[in-house]
Structure formats: C-alpha cells, structure tokens
Amino acid sequence: MGEINETLCGVLIGMAHDLADAARAAILPHFRAEHLHADNKAAGSFDPVTAADREAEAAMRHLLAEHRPQDGILGEEHGAVEGSSGLTWVLDPIDGTRGFISGTPTWGVLIAVGDEDGPFLGIIDQPYIGERFTGGLGQAHVTGPMGRAALKCRDVSKLSAATIFSTFPEVGTDAEGAAFHRLAGQCRLTRYGTDCYAYALIAAGQVDLVVEAGLHPYDVQAPIAVIEAAGGVVTDWQGGKVHMGGQVLAAATPGLHAAALEVLNG
C-alpha cells in the first residue's frame, strides 16, 4: 500500500461505513421473512442467492458510483468494474447465504478496500445482531449491543489451547479435508458453520484459528484487514499472500500460525 494521507483515510473509512449501512437497510427486510426465496447458482450442488444479496450489493455499488467513481469494484453478485485510482472495493453482500436462509445470525456483510497488494481496510458487519467489526487505517474496534470495544487477538501460541473453526467439515478436497482434520485433532475445540463470523471472533479474541479452502477474494479480503488490525495473521496454507482467495489460514498469533502451517503441510 502506498502512502495514504489523513484526509483520504477519513474518506475511505466513512465510505466503508456508509456502504455497511446501505447493505443493512437492504438486507434486514428479507431476513427471516416469509417471502424469502433462494435461487441456486450452482449445478449439481446448492449455492443459494437471494434478493437480499443482490439488492445489498446494488445499494453499495450505487453509493460507490456516486461518491467514488474512480475506484474499482469486485463483488460476488455483479462482477468486476475497473477503476482509475488504483483502489478497489471488494464486496460480499451476504457471506453465509446458507445461514441467512436458515435464519441463523452468523452471516455477514464483507466490505474491503485496497490495492494490488491487498486490503488495508475491512468491515465485517452483522446487521441483525448489530455488530460491526472494523480494521485497518488505524481502526481496530467492534461496535454493537454492548457498546464499543477494541479488537485484539487472543495470546495463544499452542495448538493444544486453541479453538479452531471452519465453515464446512469437508473443508475442500479430500486432501485438504485430511489436512484440516489432522490440525483440528491437535486443537482443544473444533467448531463449524459460522462463515465470516468466525474471522470476526478471532479479531475479538474469542477463538484462535480459522482454516478454509476454495475461497474467493470477496470471501477473505475484509477478514484479512480486520484480523491483521487486531494483531493476527492471515495467509494461504504455504504462508503466502491470500487476498485473491484459495486456501486460507487465519491465526491469532504468529506462533500459532507457524504451528498450524507445520501440521497442514505435514
């Protein structure tokens, strides 16, 4: 990331929160509503999308077109738009649509902005609970029903003391699943199914590891910014950059990250 002046920092932070507010307003009328319908985007499996996904992304894109037309956009539902500023907004209007259509409150809105090197500001927003996790550009905090609190990852360096999350027990391919379960077998507690909310919990100091595979840029860029702002580490399974997606390892501390990498690649 190049040097960003204080004025631009303030503009980008304000824009990110405006986008999150717009997504909340578009999504909440659909949550747990009788009229909610899910279309399937995948052949041979179930990858749901709803009107809430589409309307939330459209609302965010409308704001960006009005206030930041020089920036690029990459969104899950409406594709990519090239920009001229070198900055790109990466949007996932509902990360965890399967949870959304099931009525669970563990889905979230993911908003990130960054450059070719990756995200430097991210928001993980949970509209129904009213929690918003913000990280980057000097921000590292959560706001919600219990007020505002600083984000700080838990100081855990041993796998035997760690809580590990993944969205699906299968994780990815058979080989990726075997690697995950080898790692989970060395951790204190394994949990599943919270989508982006697990990444927020790392930043909040509640859990310690998230391991996933087959992710897209819009799945991971906001979590990267939030977790790194809270002192954590997010890479691929080889320790490299992961802002373009793929295999993701998020850890509360560098020591825990190193220990997890060793097991994943064992």
pLDDT digits (tens, 9 = 90+) for 14-30: 999 999 999 999 999 99
**Is residue 57 scored above 70 in pLDDT?**
yes
With respect to residue 1, please indicate whether it lies within any of the assigned structural domains: no
With respect to residue 131, please indicate whether it lies within any of the assigned structural domains: yes
Same domain assignment for residues 119 and 66 = yes
In this structure, the chain runs to a length of 266
**Is residue 184 scored above 60 in pLDDT?**
yes
Beta-bridged to residue 114, according to DSSP, are 88, 119
Same domain assignment for residues 135 and 170 = no
Query: 254 and 130 in contact (C-beta within 8 Å)?
Result: no
What pLDDT is stored for residue 2 in this prediction?
56
> Starting from the edge strand earliest in sequence, which strands make up the sheet with 163-166, in order?
189-192, 163-166, 209-215, 246-251, 233-235
Same domain assignment for residues 72 and 106 = yes
Same domain assignment for residues 217 and 123 = no
What pLDDT is stored for residue 132 in this prediction?
98
Q: In the numeric block, which tokens belong to residue 202?
A: 């790392």
What pLDDT is stored for residue 145 in this prediction?
97
Strand, helix or coil for residue 261: helix
Same domain assignment for residues 142 and 65 = yes
Query: 74 and 80 in contact (C-beta within 8 Å)?
Result: yes
Same domain assignment for residues 146 and 164 = no
Query: 53 and 96 in contact (C-beta within 8 Å)?
Result: no
What confidence tens digit (pLDDT) does each residue in 92-146 have? 999 999 999 999 999 999 999 999 999 999 999 999 999 999 999 999 999 999 9
CA distance 259 to 157: 8
Same domain assignment for residues 24 and 128 = yes
Non-local CB neighbours of 16 within 8 Å, separated by 6+ positions: 111, 113, 121, 122, 123, 134
CATH number for 188? 3.40.190.80
Which residues span the domain enclosing 72? Answer: 6-150
**Is residue 1 scored above 70 in pLDDT?**
no
CA distance 229 to 224: 8
Same domain assignment for residues 145 and 186 = no
Same domain assignment for residues 98 and 166 = no
Q: Which of 150, 181, 204 is the last residue of a domain?
A: 150
Same domain assignment for residues 146 and 163 = no
